[in-house]
């Protein structure tokens, strides 16, 4: 980097909310398997602490020495449904994860997860049933369930099950505005190296331990576009690509340095634009800078498609290994511009669903009325999974049916989770549709051999 690059990066950090959103250590727990839940949970705790004891101090040292903000230090682990099968007492593993995360000082730990995209064993069904209690009885544990893939189709029995699980997760944490549901993601085409919560887990194709980094920087992209008023989209795309390159180089630097200091292999840089509730640090503001009066107006999906593509094209040239989800996130509660658009009626649930066809992940951090039926939640999951399955992309749903809240009210989760307006949903019932069960077959283009 030359002097001009360094000065630009300093300006991005000090004035445009540029940060490393997370350093996430992925840890394999495959060697912790036991037929005794107490023994297995003890092994899980001990391995997490042993591997991650230096993660937070190392992140803080890099942050201090390089002057680069690192917002979160996190851990992801092998899906616990694989580690705990046959043990019976699954909650012990969630408590061991939580205790270990607190011991090493990380912000979150992900991996209380299951994979039922084609079918679920009885042990997996039993495990999924424990998710609401696990999230209610822990503070830092996050959970995810994969219910569909392009190759397998969509497990509609699991979709219906997850509608009930999300509802119960919110109800068991009603005293905290349903925060349990905010720590639970339902995926289609989940990836093994995602560093972002709540969907992070350490895939079985990963090594024993790895460092993954998630970058951010929507404020930087927005400022870069402020000087491009009236310019054609070719110029807009090129500007975003160049900006994403600079952002990702910073992520690569931090990832390599953390890997070296911890003596842990470098995995990937996830170059997603992850917003925060801070004013200016918004994906919605980027779209509006392209010429939309408000995010949600006609043209929003096209603008988001351009943004997502340009971010990937620019970022992928800046890192030796790009992975995770990579693109642009649109979590409502975590994005000041999205919150404003929802409150003014410009952005609806239907429009958000359309936007998920072209962005990273899906319907994220959306608050619904507390009396939303579980089959409506399941139908929203099914729609989003269908988008992922047909388009061969990762999609996800993180919905919070906030107990005792109605449309027009709002809920504040604090921190990066932000504030969410309670959004209306389509009142026409999908109950009979969801009750059919079975499996939606994989699309024809899944047969690629």
Residue in the block written with tokens 């870069």: 224
Q: What is the pLDDT of residues 352-400, one digit of tens each?
A: 999 999 987 889 999 999 999 999 999 999 999 999 999 999 999 999 9
User: Could you count the other beta carbons within 10 Å of the beta carbon of residue 285?
Assistant: 23
Average pLDDT along the chain: 90
Q: How far apart are CA 271 and CA 444, in angstroms?
A: 31
pLDDT for residue 434 is more than 80: yes
Query: Stretch 44-50: mean pLDDT, rounded?
Result: 96
Mean predicted confidence (pLDDT) in 260-286: 86
For 111, list phi and psi in degrees, rounded to 5: 135, 5
Is the confidence at residue 153, as pLDDT, over 80?
yes
Range 82-103 average pLDDT: 92
Q: Tens digit of pLDDT for each residue in 117-135? A: 999 999 999 999 999 999 9
Mean pLDDT of 310-333: 86
Tens of pLDDT, residues 55-85: 999 999 998 888 888 888 999 999 999 999 8
pLDDT at 197 exceeding the cut of 60: yes
Q: What is the pLDDT of residue 88?
A: 77
Q: Tell me, what's the pLDDT at 16?
A: 54
- Asked if residue 7 has pLDDT above 60, the reply is no
Instruction: Tell me the two tokens of residue 124.
Output: 């997996």
Burial degree of 391 (CB within 10 A; 0-12, 13-18, 19+):
middle
pLDDT at site 26? 96
Number of Cβ within a 10 Å radius of residue 418: 22
How far lies 208's CA from each of 20, 30, 34, 47, 322, in Å? 24, 9, 18, 11, 19
pLDDT number for residue 272: 84
Q: What is the pLDDT of residue 5?
A: 58
In the prediction, which pLDDT does 448 show? 79
pLDDT (average), residues 141-148: 97
The predicted model scores a pTM of: 0.92
Residue 141 pLDDT greater than 70, yes or no: yes
Over 357-386, what HEC string results?
CCCCCCEEEEEEECCCCHHHHHHHHHHHHH
pLDDT of residue 20: 83
Q: Is the pLDDT of residue 2 over 60?
A: no
Is the pLDDT assigned to residue 171 strictly greater than 80?
Answer: yes
pLDDT given at position 4: 58
Judge whether 335 and 277 are in contact, CB under 8 Å. yes
Q: When comparing pLDDT for 8 and 247, which is higher?
A: 247
Q: How far apart are CA 84 and CA 89, in angstroms?
A: 8
């Amino acid at each position: 980097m030359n002097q001009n690059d360094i000065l630009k990066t300093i300006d991005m950090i000090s004035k445009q909310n540029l940060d490393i959103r997370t350093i996430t250590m992925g840890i394999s727990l495959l060697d912790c398997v036991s037929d005794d839940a107490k023994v297995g949970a003890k092994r899980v705790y001990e391995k997490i602490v042993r591997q991650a004891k230096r993660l937070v101090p190392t992140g803080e040292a890099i942050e201090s020495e390089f002057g680069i903000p690192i917002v979160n230090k996190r851990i992801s682990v092998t899906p616990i449904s694989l580690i705990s099968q046959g043990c019976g007492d699954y909650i012990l593993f969630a408590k061991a994860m939580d205790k270990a995360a607190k011991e090493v000082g990380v912000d979150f730990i992900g991996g209380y997860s299951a994979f039922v995209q084609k079918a679920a064993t009885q042990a997996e069904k039993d495990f999924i049933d424990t998710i609401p209690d696990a999230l209610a009885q822990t503070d830092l544990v996050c959970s995810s369930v994969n219910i569909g893939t392009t190759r397998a189709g969509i497990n509609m029995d699991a979709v219906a099950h997850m509608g009930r699980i999300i509802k119960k997760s919110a109800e068991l944490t009603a005293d905290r505005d349903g925060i349990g549901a905010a720590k639970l993601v339902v995926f289609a085409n989940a990836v093994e190296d995602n560093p972002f919560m709540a969907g992070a887990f350490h895939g079985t194709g990963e090594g024993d331990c790895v460092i993954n980094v998630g970058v951010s920087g929507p404020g930087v992209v927005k400022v870069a576009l402020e000087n491009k008023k009236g310019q054609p989209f070719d110029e807009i795309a090129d500007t975003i690509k160049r900006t994403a390159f600079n952002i990702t180089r910073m992520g690569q630097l931090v990832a390599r340095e953390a890997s070296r200091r911890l003596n842990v292999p470098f995995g990937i840089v996830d170059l997603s634009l992850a917003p925060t509730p801070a004013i200016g640090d918004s994906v919605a503001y980027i779209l509006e800078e392209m010429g939309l009066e408000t995010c949600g107006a006609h043209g929003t999906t096209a603008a988001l498609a351009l943004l997502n593509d340009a971010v990937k094209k620019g970022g992928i040239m800046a890192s030796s290994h790009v992975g995770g989800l990579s693109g642009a996130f649109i979590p409502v509660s975590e994005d000041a511009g999205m919150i404003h658009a929802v409150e003014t009626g410009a952005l609806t649930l239907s429009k958000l669903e359309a936007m998920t066809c072209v962005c990273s992940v899906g319907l994220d951090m959306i608050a619904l009325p507390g009396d939303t039926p579980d089959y409506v939640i399941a139908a929203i999951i099914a729609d989003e999974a269908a988008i992922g399955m047909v388009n061969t992309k990762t999609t996800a749903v993180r919905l919070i049916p906030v107990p005792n809240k109605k449309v027009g009210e709002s809920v504040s989760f604090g921190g990066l989770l932000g504030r969410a307006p309670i959004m209306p949903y389509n009142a026409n019932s999908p109950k009979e549709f969801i009750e059919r069960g079975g499996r939606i077959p994989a699309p024809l283009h899944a047969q690629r051999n």
